[in-house]
């Protein structure tokens, strides 16, 4: 006789937390995420089904495998993972656990997931991020993105936080900051752009315009037409 845990039938799907790197498809039309450890090779969309990372022909999660989406119950436990050097540029995801799941002491392993909110930390320079910019690495077909402030975006491929949310779709919210910034983000209109998002979009556009004007100015000084010195 096999000993089985009781099956849970929650009235509402459970909520969990995890960290991941935002990714942008090669053609720039889709946004998603890629995990930081197991499963990092398989980028996923906002609403996604897990498949076995080992390519085994069973439904994920399988009891005798460690496949499936993973998350923890406790937000602080997920945030703690962002402290390590290799995860500094990752973002915190709040997810809804859908489909079959296996419960652990610290979290869930499960079949289907909806990412509800992505919380983006500061730029590597320490300034609050307004954009997700090319992080100089990726997966086949996907470039990884990292939080960036207006000053550090320069000419890199980038999206405003709201722009990334639009591409990723499915009602994803992308908010900047940690801790203190969250309550104000919660006041933003659920649909469309609130004032903080518009201010961030404007700051990003201005920074990119400044950068392009600087580049144009340099071309004017040193370019083919500007090299005449008599």
The residues of the shown chain that bind Zn ion, judged by CB under 5 A, are: 52, 56, 62, 65, 67, 123, 125, 127, 149, 152
Q: How far is the CB of 66 from Zn ion (least distance, A)?
A: 7
Which residues, including other chains, have CB under 8 Å from residue 174's CB and lie 6 or more apart? Answer: 117, 118, 120, 132, 161, 162, 164, 165, 168
The residue among 111 and 123 lying less far from Zn ion, judged by its C-beta, is: 123
23-39 residues labelled b (16+ CB within 10 A) or e (exposed): bbeeeeebbbbbbbeeb
Residues 147, 10 contacting (CB under 8 angstroms): no
The residue among 56 and 202 lying less far from Zn ion, judged by its C-beta, is: 56
Residues 20, 33 contacting (CB under 8 angstroms): yes
Q: How far is the CB of 158 from Zn ion (least distance, A)?
A: 12
The region that residue 153 occupies, defined by phi over 0 for left and psi between -120 and 50 for alpha, beta otherwise, is: alpha
Q: Helix or strand or coil: residue 61? A: coil
Q: How far is the CB of 30 from Zn ion (least distance, A)?
A: 25
Note if the bond before 227 is cis, omega within 30 degrees.
Answer: no
Q: Hey, which residues does 104 pair with through a beta bridge?
A: none
The residue among 151 and 171 lying less far from Zn ion, judged by its C-beta, is: 151
Q: How far is the CB of 63 from Zn ion (least distance, A)?
A: 10
The residue among 118 and 149 lying less far from Zn ion, judged by its C-beta, is: 149
Q: How far is the CB of 216 from Zn ion (least distance, A)?
A: 22
Residues 33, 166 contacting (CB under 8 angstroms): no
The residue among 46 and 67 lying less far from Zn ion, judged by its C-beta, is: 67
């Amino acid at each position: 006789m096999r000993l089985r845990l009781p099956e849970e039938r929650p009235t509402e799907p459970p909520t969990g937390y995890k960290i991941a790197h935002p990714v942008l498809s090669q053609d720039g039309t889709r946004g998603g995420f890629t995990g930081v450890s197991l499963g990092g090779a398989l980028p996923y969309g906002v609403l996604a089904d897990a498949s076995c990372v080992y390519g085994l022909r069973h439904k994920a999660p399988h009891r005798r495998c460690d496949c499936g989406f993973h998350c923890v119950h406790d937000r602080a436990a997920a945030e703690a993972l962002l402290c390590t050097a290799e995860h500094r540029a990752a973002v915190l995801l709040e997810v809804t656990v859908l489909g079959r799941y296996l419960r652990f002491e610290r979290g869930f392993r499960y079949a289907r997931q909806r990412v509800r909110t992505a919380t983006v930390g500061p730029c590597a320079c320490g300034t609050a991020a307004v954009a997700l910019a090319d992080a100089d690495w990726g997966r086949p077909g996907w470039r990884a993105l990292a939080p960036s402030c207006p000053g550090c975006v320069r000419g890199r491929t980038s999206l405003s936080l709201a722009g990334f949310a639009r591409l990723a779709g499915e009602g994803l919210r992308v908010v900047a900051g940690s801790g203190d910034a969250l309550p104000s983000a919660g006041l933003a209109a659920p649909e469309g752009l609130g004032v903080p998002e518009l201010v961030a979009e404007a700051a990003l556009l201005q920074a990119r315009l400044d950068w392009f004007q600087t580049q144009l100015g340099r071309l004017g000084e040193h370019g083919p037409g500007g090299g005449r010195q008599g």
